[in-house]
Amino acid sequence: MPLTAGDHTLTLWMQTDGLLVDRVVLSTNANLLPTGSSEQGPAESNAPATCPERPTAPTWLVLSSIAAEDGFIQELGNTNTGATPNSTAAQLRVGDSQGTANRQYKGFLSFDTATIPDEATVLQAWVQLKHASLAGDPYATLGNIAVDIAPAAGFSGSYGLESADFQATAAASQAATLSQSFSTADWARGFWDGAGLAVINVAGKTQLRLVFGLADDGDGANDILYYETSEHSDSYLRPQLIIAYTTATPPTVTPSFTPSATPTTTPSATPSLTPSATPSFTPSATPSLTPSATPTHTPTPSPTPSFTPSPTPSPTPLVRTTGWRSPSAQTAVSGGDNNGFETSPTQGYSDDGLFAQDLNSGTTTNASCTHAGKDKHLFYDYNIALFSPGAGTTINGIEVRLDAKVDNTLGSPRLCVQLSWDGGLTWTTSKVTAVLNPTETSYILGSPADPWGHVWQPNELTNTNFRLRVISIASSTDRDFSLDWLAVQVYYQ
């Protein structure tokens, strides 16, 4: 392409996104084959091109607190310093005690977070504690419970409880606020803010301190929240830390230029350039070059290197929860006595201390969830509502809560649960509670990261499609099962 003297603009048009230009060589030689030599311009650079990776689904981690390191510390007098810590009590305390000093209680939890990869980005975390009991009216007088997070080495340089943990400086203060709880059916949950997420210790343990907004109310009476600790024999009721993280980081990608072969010219003999005449240059308004038979060189073409970048990742949406949803319809299904929870089955709709009952359950001592001799009952119409569901909505996990008891533990009585997404035509594999207690206890099946072996779509959670089947099992037909509440909670993003 002949050019006139002066400045020129070279415009490159991209056919697709991701075009990479390493160098541009200009020459007056129409037969030039660039080889990368210095006299033909700068060498091809080795500068990497950074291409973002496609976003990956978050990894979920559910941790139970460390029993030897959770507990509480009571205030020493009214000094805002800690007295002797208690790490062996069955329940954790937060609040203030009776007496003229109205001494404050602070609770402590420790979790082993070293399994989180060093390069991970933590997207979301929350702590949840099972309500055990309360004394007085702590929320009315003391406010809400805040969560402080310790420095990486613990509040006092270690993770075991020490008196100084009571007043030690936190790495993140009030990183979360626990939801209020009033009965043994409740879980108190606190979702961490950005400052809290930033100080999760991926190299060891993460220690938490629970404290009311007001140290004490001066009324001389007990105002205390009691939570279950990891001393509890039932793992479902222990304090938990739930963490979502991703290890997706932009990789370094160096474009690869791999020609099919090095272009070569293979003549039958040493090529000679024999023009019939010496090229003459006849000046005119625009100089022209008119050579006689100048040999041409046609190299084997190399493929044009191509680079297909990954799309720029969008921020991973945070996880939402529906909260506990109650059923509003039920029916017994065939199996065992063919009557399911035959006495007051609608009492399973709400957490009110009234029970649906399956008396003298089953017709066989076989303790399999799938045996035909076991009583079964269907609960549905949970009215599960997702916030702005759409094609991009992901169902991460489902929890099922059973508040239940049994007349006697002989025969190892348990409850099985199965879920259906198509109106009861197809069912998930059963999940089974621990052996039921003679006193009412909450049992949680599933988790925020457990979809029960099925990839759920939002429409499969509608009243038309979603079903829950509960099955009473024991190696005895004399057991009486009592069910107070059968609730469902969905985690999605």
- According to the model, what pLDDT value does residue 254 have? 45
Greater confidence, 351 or 278? 351
Q: What is the DSSP letter of 122?
A: E
Residue 343 burial (CB count, 10 A)? 13
Q: What are the residues whose beta carbons fall under 8 Å from the beta carbon of 221, sequence distance 6 or more?
A: 98, 136
Assign 3-state DSSP to the chain and report helix, strand, coil percentages, each to 5: 5, 30, 60
What is the Cα Rg of the chain in Å? 35
- According to the model, what pLDDT value does residue 19 have? 63
pLDDT of 331 strictly over 90: yes
pLDDT of 358 strictly over 80: yes
pLDDT of 148 strictly over 80: yes
- According to the model, what pLDDT value does residue 78 have? 84
Answer for the pair 313, 55: CB distance below 8 angstroms, yes or no. Answer: yes
Lowest mean pLDDT among 54-68, 122-136, 283-297, 348-362: 283-297
| Average pLDDT value for residue range 249-269 | 44
pLDDT of 478 strictly over 90: yes
Quote the CA–CA distance of 480 and 376 in Å, as a whole number.
Answer: 14
Using the Cα atoms of residue 432, residue 433, residue 437 and residue 439 in order, give the sign of their dihedral: negative
- The amino acid sitting at 244 is A
- According to the model, what pLDDT value does residue 53 have? 52
| Average pLDDT value for residue range 113-126 | 93
Walk me through the domains of the chain, giving residue ranges and CATH numbers: 59-246 (2.60.120), 320-492 (2.60.120)
| Average pLDDT value for residue range 99-115 | 90
The separation between CA 18 and the C-alpha centre of its own chain, rounded to angstroms, equals 32
Q: Of all residues in the chain, what percent carry a pLDDT higher than 70?
A: 76
- According to the model, what pLDDT value does residue 264 have? 45
pLDDT in tens, 269-302: 444 444 444 444 444 444 444 444 444 444 445 4
- The amino acid sitting at 97 is S
Using the Cα atoms of residue 147, residue 152, residue 153 and residue 156 in order, give the sign of their dihedral: negative
Place 98 in a pLDDT band, splitting at 50, 70 and 90: confident
Greater confidence, 303 or 481? 481
Tokens of 118: 């060093």
